[in-house]
A = this chain, B = another copy of it.
Amino acid sequence: MRTTDMPLIRRSRLFAQVGEPDLAAMLTACFVQTLPDGAVLCRQGEKAEFLHVVLSGRVGLFGEAARDEALVEFLGPGDAFIVPAVVLDVPYLLTARLLDEGRILMWPAAAFRAQVRATGQLAYGAVLLLSGYWRTLIGQIKDLKLLSAIERLSAFLLALAPRDTGPVTVTLPGGRRLVAGRLGITPQSLSRAFAALRPLGVSGGGREVVIADPARLREFAGVRALKNT
Protein backbone atom coordinates (compact mmCIF):
# COMPACT_ATOMS: atom_id res chain seq x y z
CA MET A 1 0.00 0.00 0.00
CA ARG A 2 1.36 3.41 -0.97
CA THR A 3 0.93 6.52 1.18
CA THR A 4 -0.90 8.05 -1.79
CA ASP A 5 -3.53 5.30 -1.47
CA MET A 6 -4.86 6.63 1.85
CA PRO A 7 -6.67 9.69 0.44
CA LEU A 8 -8.18 7.38 -2.20
CA ILE A 9 -9.32 4.91 0.49
CA ARG A 10 -10.82 7.79 2.46
CA ARG A 11 -12.99 8.66 -0.57
CA SER A 12 -15.13 5.58 -0.08
CA ARG A 13 -18.43 5.99 1.73
CA LEU A 14 -17.60 2.67 3.36
CA PHE A 15 -14.97 4.31 5.57
CA ALA A 16 -16.63 7.69 6.07
CA GLN A 17 -17.55 6.97 9.70
CA VAL A 18 -14.41 5.03 10.72
CA GLY A 19 -11.82 6.85 12.85
CA GLU A 20 -8.12 6.90 11.90
CA PRO A 21 -6.70 4.34 14.35
CA ASP A 22 -9.54 1.88 13.63
CA LEU A 23 -9.06 2.31 9.90
CA ALA A 24 -5.32 1.72 10.13
CA ALA A 25 -5.93 -1.45 12.15
CA MET A 26 -8.52 -2.74 9.66
CA LEU A 27 -6.27 -2.14 6.69
CA THR A 28 -3.52 -4.39 8.03
CA ALA A 29 -5.58 -7.30 6.64
CA CYS A 30 -5.70 -5.71 3.15
CA PHE A 31 -3.40 -5.18 0.20
CA VAL A 32 -3.53 -3.04 -2.93
CA GLN A 33 -3.03 -4.29 -6.49
CA THR A 34 -2.49 -2.40 -9.72
CA LEU A 35 -4.21 -4.41 -12.44
CA PRO A 36 -4.48 -4.09 -16.22
CA ASP A 37 -7.49 -3.30 -18.40
CA GLY A 38 -9.63 -6.44 -18.69
CA ALA A 39 -8.53 -8.05 -15.42
CA VAL A 40 -11.31 -10.14 -13.87
CA LEU A 41 -11.68 -9.31 -10.18
CA CYS A 42 -14.44 -11.70 -9.28
CA ARG A 43 -16.50 -14.17 -11.25
CA GLN A 44 -20.22 -14.95 -11.16
CA GLY A 45 -20.92 -18.23 -9.41
CA GLU A 46 -17.67 -18.33 -7.45
CA LYS A 47 -17.48 -18.07 -3.70
CA ALA A 48 -16.71 -14.53 -2.49
CA GLU A 49 -13.00 -14.35 -1.68
CA PHE A 50 -12.36 -10.63 -1.43
CA LEU A 51 -14.16 -7.39 -0.91
CA HIS A 52 -12.78 -5.02 -3.54
CA VAL A 53 -12.62 -1.25 -3.21
CA VAL A 54 -11.86 0.77 -6.34
CA LEU A 55 -9.09 3.29 -5.68
CA SER A 56 -8.64 4.25 -9.34
CA GLY A 57 -9.94 3.05 -12.68
CA ARG A 58 -13.37 1.90 -13.82
CA VAL A 59 -14.99 -1.45 -13.25
CA GLY A 60 -17.89 -3.09 -15.07
CA LEU A 61 -20.25 -5.45 -13.25
CA PHE A 62 -21.51 -8.04 -15.72
CA GLY A 63 -24.34 -10.53 -15.49
CA GLU A 64 -23.80 -13.72 -17.45
CA ALA A 65 -26.33 -16.11 -18.95
CA ALA A 66 -25.68 -19.32 -20.85
CA ARG A 67 -24.70 -17.63 -24.11
CA ASP A 68 -24.68 -13.93 -23.31
CA GLU A 69 -23.52 -11.25 -20.91
CA ALA A 70 -24.82 -7.78 -20.08
CA LEU A 71 -23.29 -4.86 -18.26
CA VAL A 72 -25.31 -4.29 -15.09
CA GLU A 73 -23.50 -1.23 -13.74
CA PHE A 74 -20.35 0.85 -13.98
CA LEU A 75 -18.32 1.43 -10.79
CA GLY A 76 -15.50 3.84 -10.09
CA PRO A 77 -13.25 5.24 -7.34
CA GLY A 78 -14.77 4.85 -3.88
CA ASP A 79 -17.05 1.99 -4.88
CA ALA A 80 -16.80 -1.31 -3.01
CA PHE A 81 -17.84 -4.58 -4.58
CA ILE A 82 -19.48 -6.94 -4.05
CA VAL A 83 -20.42 -6.28 -0.40
CA PRO A 84 -23.54 -8.50 -0.30
CA ALA A 85 -21.84 -11.69 -1.51
CA VAL A 86 -19.00 -11.11 0.98
CA VAL A 87 -21.25 -10.26 3.95
CA LEU A 88 -23.67 -13.13 3.30
CA ASP A 89 -20.82 -15.53 2.36
CA VAL A 90 -22.52 -16.68 -0.84
CA PRO A 91 -21.41 -16.93 -4.49
CA TYR A 92 -21.11 -13.75 -6.54
CA LEU A 93 -24.12 -13.00 -8.78
CA LEU A 94 -21.92 -10.86 -11.03
CA THR A 95 -18.54 -10.83 -12.71
CA ALA A 96 -16.42 -7.71 -12.16
CA ARG A 97 -13.89 -6.69 -14.83
CA LEU A 98 -11.60 -3.69 -15.04
CA LEU A 99 -12.42 -1.42 -17.98
CA ASP A 100 -9.01 0.24 -17.80
CA GLU A 101 -5.94 0.00 -15.58
CA GLY A 102 -6.90 0.40 -11.95
CA ARG A 103 -5.73 0.21 -8.36
CA ILE A 104 -7.88 -2.05 -6.24
CA LEU A 105 -7.91 -2.54 -2.46
CA MET A 106 -8.29 -6.26 -1.75
CA TRP A 107 -9.85 -7.18 1.59
CA PRO A 108 -10.01 -10.92 2.37
CA ALA A 109 -13.68 -11.86 2.71
CA ALA A 110 -13.53 -13.52 6.15
CA ALA A 111 -11.65 -10.56 7.61
CA PHE A 112 -14.18 -8.08 6.21
CA ARG A 113 -17.12 -10.14 7.48
CA ALA A 114 -15.69 -10.22 11.00
CA GLN A 115 -14.87 -6.52 10.92
CA VAL A 116 -18.26 -5.30 9.65
CA ARG A 117 -19.95 -7.40 12.30
CA ALA A 118 -17.74 -6.08 15.11
CA THR A 119 -17.37 -2.42 14.14
CA GLY A 120 -20.50 -0.27 14.19
CA GLN A 121 -18.90 2.55 12.20
CA LEU A 122 -17.91 0.20 9.39
CA ALA A 123 -21.40 -1.35 9.38
CA TYR A 124 -22.91 2.13 9.23
CA GLY A 125 -20.60 3.00 6.32
CA ALA A 126 -21.75 -0.18 4.57
CA VAL A 127 -25.38 0.88 5.16
CA LEU A 128 -24.68 4.24 3.49
CA LEU A 129 -22.87 2.57 0.59
CA LEU A 130 -25.56 -0.06 0.03
CA SER A 131 -28.26 2.59 0.33
CA GLY A 132 -26.68 4.50 -2.53
CA TYR A 133 -26.45 1.32 -4.61
CA TRP A 134 -30.10 0.44 -3.85
CA ARG A 135 -31.14 3.81 -5.29
CA THR A 136 -28.97 3.31 -8.39
CA LEU A 137 -30.45 -0.15 -9.01
CA ILE A 138 -34.02 1.04 -8.38
CA GLY A 139 -33.44 3.88 -10.84
CA GLN A 140 -32.21 1.38 -13.42
CA ILE A 141 -35.18 -0.98 -12.89
CA LYS A 142 -37.63 1.94 -13.20
CA ASP A 143 -35.87 3.03 -16.40
CA LEU A 144 -36.02 -0.51 -17.83
CA LYS A 145 -39.72 -0.86 -17.05
CA LEU A 146 -41.06 2.61 -17.69
CA LEU A 147 -38.89 4.40 -20.25
CA SER A 148 -38.30 3.95 -23.97
CA ALA A 149 -34.75 3.41 -25.26
CA ILE A 150 -34.56 7.11 -26.23
CA GLU A 151 -35.74 8.21 -22.80
CA ARG A 152 -33.29 5.85 -21.10
CA LEU A 153 -30.39 7.22 -23.15
CA SER A 154 -31.48 10.79 -22.34
CA ALA A 155 -31.65 10.03 -18.62
CA PHE A 156 -28.25 8.31 -18.73
CA LEU A 157 -26.60 11.24 -20.53
CA LEU A 158 -28.22 13.80 -18.23
CA ALA A 159 -26.97 11.90 -15.16
CA LEU A 160 -23.43 12.33 -16.53
CA ALA A 161 -23.87 16.07 -17.17
CA PRO A 162 -22.28 18.28 -14.50
CA ARG A 163 -24.81 21.10 -14.94
CA ASP A 164 -28.14 21.90 -16.51
CA THR A 165 -27.01 24.77 -18.75
CA GLY A 166 -25.26 23.92 -21.97
CA PRO A 167 -23.43 23.12 -23.99
CA VAL A 168 -21.80 20.37 -21.92
CA THR A 169 -19.55 17.54 -23.02
CA VAL A 170 -19.97 14.23 -21.24
CA THR A 171 -17.71 11.19 -21.52
CA LEU A 172 -19.40 7.81 -21.73
CA PRO A 173 -18.06 5.51 -18.98
CA GLY A 174 -17.37 2.78 -21.54
CA GLY A 175 -17.62 2.02 -25.23
CA ARG A 176 -20.98 2.14 -26.97
CA ARG A 177 -21.47 -1.62 -26.71
CA LEU A 178 -21.14 -1.41 -22.91
CA VAL A 179 -23.47 1.57 -22.70
CA ALA A 180 -26.05 -0.34 -24.75
CA GLY A 181 -25.79 -3.21 -22.24
CA ARG A 182 -26.18 -0.85 -19.28
CA LEU A 183 -29.33 0.55 -20.91
CA GLY A 184 -30.67 -2.92 -21.69
CA ILE A 185 -30.82 -2.38 -25.46
CA THR A 186 -28.93 -3.67 -28.47
CA PRO A 187 -26.07 -1.63 -29.96
CA GLN A 188 -28.32 -1.08 -33.01
CA SER A 189 -31.06 0.38 -30.81
CA LEU A 190 -28.48 2.61 -29.15
CA SER A 191 -27.41 3.98 -32.55
CA ARG A 192 -31.04 4.67 -33.43
CA ALA A 193 -31.59 6.38 -30.08
CA PHE A 194 -28.54 8.61 -30.62
CA ALA A 195 -29.85 9.49 -34.10
CA ALA A 196 -33.27 10.36 -32.63
CA LEU A 197 -31.63 12.74 -30.14
CA ARG A 198 -29.58 14.55 -32.80
CA PRO A 199 -32.34 17.10 -33.63
CA LEU A 200 -32.44 17.85 -29.88
CA GLY A 201 -28.81 18.91 -29.83
CA VAL A 202 -27.07 15.67 -28.85
CA SER A 203 -23.98 15.08 -31.00
CA GLY A 204 -20.47 13.67 -31.02
CA GLY A 205 -18.70 10.44 -31.81
CA GLY A 206 -17.02 7.72 -29.80
CA ARG A 207 -17.14 8.29 -26.06
CA GLU A 208 -17.43 12.11 -26.14
CA VAL A 209 -21.01 13.36 -26.39
CA VAL A 210 -22.06 17.02 -26.54
CA ILE A 211 -25.42 18.06 -25.12
CA ALA A 212 -26.21 21.51 -26.52
CA ASP A 213 -28.99 22.23 -24.03
CA PRO A 214 -29.42 19.78 -21.12
CA ALA A 215 -32.59 21.52 -19.88
CA ARG A 216 -34.24 21.06 -23.29
CA LEU A 217 -33.23 17.39 -23.38
CA ARG A 218 -34.66 16.91 -19.89
CA GLU A 219 -37.90 18.56 -20.94
CA PHE A 220 -38.18 16.42 -24.07
CA ALA A 221 -37.53 13.13 -22.39
CA GLY A 222 -40.07 13.69 -19.66
CA VAL A 223 -37.29 12.51 -17.40
CA ARG A 224 -38.19 15.08 -14.80
CA ALA A 225 -41.36 13.19 -13.93
CA LEU A 226 -39.45 9.97 -13.35
CA LYS A 227 -36.06 10.93 -11.93
CA ASN A 228 -36.61 14.04 -9.86
CA THR A 229 -39.57 12.84 -7.90
Known: A72-B145, A137-B138. Is A131-B84 also a contact (CB below 8 A)? yes
Q: By the criterion CB–CB under 8 Å, are A65 and B130 in contact?
A: no
Known: A117-B124, A119-B120, A131-B88. Is A225-B138 also a contact (CB below 8 A)? no
Q: By the criterion CB–CB under 8 Å, are A130 and B123 in contact?
A: no
A175 at the interface (CB under 8 A from B): no
27 pairs, A vs B, C-beta closer than 8 Å? A44-B229, A63-B138, A63-B141, A63-B145, A66-B225, A70-B142, A72-B141, A72-B142, A83-B134, A84-B134, A84-B135, A85-B135, A87-B127, A88-B132, A88-B135, A93-B142, A116-B124, A116-B127, A120-B123, A120-B124, A123-B124, A126-B127, A127-B127, A130-B130, A134-B134, A137-B137, A137-B141
Of the listed residues A85, A91, A118, A120, the one surrounded by the most CB atoms of chain B closer than 10 A to its CB is: A120
A222 at the interface (CB under 8 A from B): yes
Q: By the criterion CB–CB under 8 Å, are B229 and A131 in contact?
A: no
Which label, helix, strand, loop or mixed, suits the secondary structure of the A interface?
helix
Q: How many copies does the complex hold?
A: 2
Q: Smallest CB–CB gap between A223 and chain B, Å? A: 9
Cβ < 8 Å to B, chain A residues 56-108:
63-66, 68-70, 72, 83-85, 87-88, 90-91, 93-94
Q: By the criterion CB–CB under 8 Å, are A229 and B91 in contact?
A: yes
